[in-house]
Chain A
C-alpha cells in the first residue's frame, strides 16, 4: 500500500513537472503572439505645435535691409517674426549655443510646425554658402558655392530628458539641421553645416578639404572669414571687440573674436591631418571656446 502511494505521488510529481513546463510554454507563446501582432502609432514630437513658420531666406542679401530695420526694434530677449525674417537677440543666441553645448544626447525628429522644413533648411544652407563664398571667395580660387551639392540633411533636437521648462525660448529653438555637402563629381572637399532649426542661423561650420591648406592662411584671411561668418549669422560686427587670442602654433592656428560682454565667442580653428592629407577648418559659436580649442590659448595682449 505504501509503495502504491509512493508510486502514485511519483507519477503525480512527474506530471506536475511536465504539465508545468507545458503550461509555461503555452503562456509564453500566447504572450509572444500578442506582442508580435501589435500595431499602433507614436506621435511625432511637436506635431501639435501651431506656430506658423516665419523663417525663409532670413540671411539672404535682399532681406538685409529689412533685417537691419528689425534689429533696431529687437526686443531684449525672445524672438519675433517680422514678415519672413526672424529676428533674434544676441542673448538668445548665447542661450541656444549654451544649451547645445550642454546637451549630451540629441535625437532625430520631424520638424515642428514652427521649424524649417528640410527644403527650407537646405535652401538656407545654400544661401549661406552663396553669401560666404561671395565674401571670402578670393581665398577659394576657382571654387564657389555652386560647386557643392547636398548629400544629406538631418534634424536633431534635445533628448526627451531635456526639461523644456528650464528653457527661456520655446523648445523648437534648440533643434538644428545637420546638412552635409560635398564637392560635385569628387570627394575632395566636404562641408557640414549646423543650422538652427527655428532661425536658420548657421551655428557650426566644418570644412574638410584636400584641395586647400587652411593652416597656411594669413591672419587677415582668417579674420575675414570670421567677420563674414559673423555677418552671415546676422550679428552686428560692431559689437565684437575684435580681439584676437592669437595663433597657438605655426601649423595649427586658431582665431577667436569675442563680443564685448564676453559671453559669446566666435571661434575659428584650422588644423591638418597629414596622414590623410586633409585640412580642416571649423567655425562655430561657443560660450566657452576652451572647450573646443585643440590648443592652449595664449592670453589676450600677448600679440
Chain B
C-alpha cells in the first residue's frame, strides 16, 4: 500500500474514533444536563402547583365534602400540568392523566418528593408525587410534566450530529486524500529522480524547496547526486587514463620489439657481412636498453603508487648539494653546467625520492639539449621552493597541461632516440604528491623550462645563508 493511502486511512480512522467519542460525550452531557434541568424545573413547578392546590383546598374547605371532584377540577384548571389526586389508601379521587400514576402507596408515605420518569411511545413524562398535609384524611398530590419536546429535541440533535459526522467524514476524506497526495508528492518526485539517476542520468536534480523535512531531504539528495556524479566522472577519468596508459604502454613496447624482431629475423634469415650483423646487433641492444629503461621507470611508477614511504626532516641544502655532486659525476661526459644555490632548511622528504625527483627533472632538461641547469633552493614563507631551470628547447605552452601524463611526449621522435618513454614527469608529479608538496612547471618554446617544487618545512632557519657552488 502506498504511503499516501496509509496516511489517508490512518487519519480517517483516528478522525472517526475521535469524532465519535467526542460526539458520545457531548450528546450524553447535553442529554443529562437537559434532563437535570427538566427535573429541577418540574420539581419547582410541582411545589408551586402543590401550594396552589393546597390553597384551593383551604378556600373551598366548606364545599369539599359535597363537591370534591368539581372543586378538584376547578383547582386543577389553574395548574398547567396534569393532576392526579389519590386518597390515603391509594384510590384515585381525581385524575387528568391517561393512566393511573405508577406509584405505590408505600413509597408515597415518606416525607419526600417522589419522582418517576415514564417514557411512553408518544410521550415522556416526569411524575412527582407527595403527601398533602392538609387536614384529615391525607391526600396524595401527583402531577405529570411533559418533557416529550425535550426528548424530541435531543433526538433531533443526535440526528443532526449524525448528519454532520457523515458530511464531515465525506468532506474530510476528500480533503485528506488531496492533502496526503500533496504531502507525498515530493517523495514521488524523489523516486522518479532516483530511477533516472539509476539509469545513468547523473545531471538530474530535485527542485523541491522549503524548510521542511522534504526540503532538507531534497537538498541532501541533490548533494548526494553531485557527489555520485563527481565520483562517476573521476572513475571514468581514471578508467580512461588506465586505458590510455595500457595503449601507450603497448605502443611503447611495440616500437622497440618491432625493431628487435626485425633485426633478429634479418640476422637469422640472411647471410650478412660482419659489419651489418654488428650494426643489427647494436640496434637490438639499443632497443633492449630502451625496454630496460622503460621497465625501470614503470617499476618506479608502480612502486611509488604502492609503497608506503616514511618521510623524515632532512637538511634541504645538504641534500641538494649532495645530489648535485652525484649528478655532476653522472653527467661529466655531457657538456652541461650545473649550478646549485640553496638556503638551509629542514624539509620532510626521503633521500631516494628526492634524488629520483631531481634526476628525472635534470634528465628531461638534458634531453631538451640544455647547456646550463640551475637548482635554487629558497625559503618562501612556510615552504621550501626547489626551482630547477634549464635553457633547453622548452615546451610549447599548449602541451604543458599534459606533460605529467604517463607516456606523453612532446617530441616523440627525439624522445625515443634518447630512450625516453614519457614517464619522467609522471614520476616527478607522484614523488611531489608523496611529499605533500606542489609542482609548478613554467616553460616557453626556445627559452627553457622552470620546474618548481614547493615542500613543507619544519623549522626554517630565519638566518639567511646563501650558498653557491
Contact = CB atoms under 8 A, between A and B. Distances in A.
B114 interface: yes
Interface stretch (B23-31, B333-341, B443-451): B23-31
Interface stretch (B13-21, B86-94, B179-187, B429-437): B13-21
Contact of B9 (A13, A20, A35, A122): A13
Contact of A40 (B28, B111, B115, B169): B115
B48 A33 contact: no
Given A20-B16, A119-B135, A108 B48 contact: yes
Interface string A122-166: 100000000000000000000000000111111100000000000
Given A6-B1, A108-B47, A152-B52, A44 B112 contact: yes
Contact of B47 (A25, A33, A109): A109
B378 interface: no
Interface string A254-272: 0000000000000000000
Nearest to B15: A17
A33 B119 contact: yes
A110 to B, nearest CB: 8
A80 interface: no
A82 interface: no
B13 A13 contact: yes
A55 to B, nearest CB: 16
B302 to A, nearest CB: 55
Interface stretch (B53-61, B64-72, B402-410): B53-61
Contacts of A44: 111-113, 130
A32 B43 contact: no
Contacts of B51: 108, 118, 152-155
B253 interface: no
A37 B119 contact: yes
B5 A6 contact: yes
Contacts of A108: 44, 47-48, 51
A3 to B, nearest CB: 9
B12 A13 contact: yes
Interface in A92-140: 107-110, 117-119, 122
A32 B111 contact: no
A39 interface: yes
A106 to B, nearest CB: 12
B332 interface: no
B45 to A, nearest CB: 10
B304 interface: no
Contact of A28 (B24, B59, B114, B117): B24
A43 B130 CA distance: 10
A24 interface: yes
Nearest to B12: A13
Given A25-B158, A36-B151, A118-B134, A42 B119 contact: no
Contacts of B9: 9-10, 12-13
Contact of A5 (B1, B32, B54, B124): B1
B58 A24 contact: no
B165 interface: yes
A35 B27 CA distance: 13
A16 interface: yes
A44 B58 CA distance: 22
A20 B162 CA distance: 11
Contacts of B20: 20-21, 23-24
Contacts of B27: 28
Contacts of B372: none
Contacts of A37: 117, 119
B154 interface: yes
B2 interface: yes
A275 to B, nearest CB: 28
B107 interface: yes
Contact of A42 (B2, B43, B52, B116): B43
B119 A36 contact: yes
Given A25-B162, A35-B117, A118 B112 contact: no
A31 B35 CA distance: 12
Contacts of A28: 24, 27-28, 31, 158
B107 A41 contact: yes
A16 B13 contact: yes
Nearest to A31: B28
A177 to B, nearest CB: 10
Contacts of A122: 55, 58
Contacts of A48: 111
A27 B59 CA distance: 51
Contacts of A25: 158, 162
A83 B112 CA distance: 30
B166 to A, nearest CB: 8
Contacts of B58: 118-119, 122, 150, 153
B31 A35 contact: yes
A38 interface: yes
B59 A150 contact: yes
Q: Name, among B51, B115, B158, the residue most crowded by chain A CB atoms within 10 Å (CB to CB).
A: B51
B1 A9 contact: yes
Contact of B111 (A2, A24, A47, A151): A47
B9 to A, nearest CB: 5
Interface in B270-307: none
A284 B135 CA distance: 32
A41 B44 contact: no
Nearest to A48: B111
Nearest to A20: B20
A223 B259 CA distance: 160
B211 interface: no
Interface of A: 2, 5-6, 9-10, 12-13, 16-17, 20-21, 23-25, 27-28, 31-33, 35-44, 47-48, 107-110, 117-119, 122, 149-155
14 contacts: A5-B1, A13-B13, A24-B20, A24-B24, A32-B154, A35-B117, A36-B117, A41-B110, A108-B51, A117-B133, A119-B134, A151-B55, A152-B55, A154-B48
Given A6-B5, A33-B119, A39-B114, 8 more contacts: A6-B2, A17-B169, A25-B158, A27-B24, A31-B31, A44-B113, A107-B44, A119-B58
Question: What are the nearest 9 A-B pairs in CB distance?
Answer: A47-B111, A41-B112, A39-B116, A36-B119, A108-B47, A20-B20, A154-B51, A42-B113, A41-B114
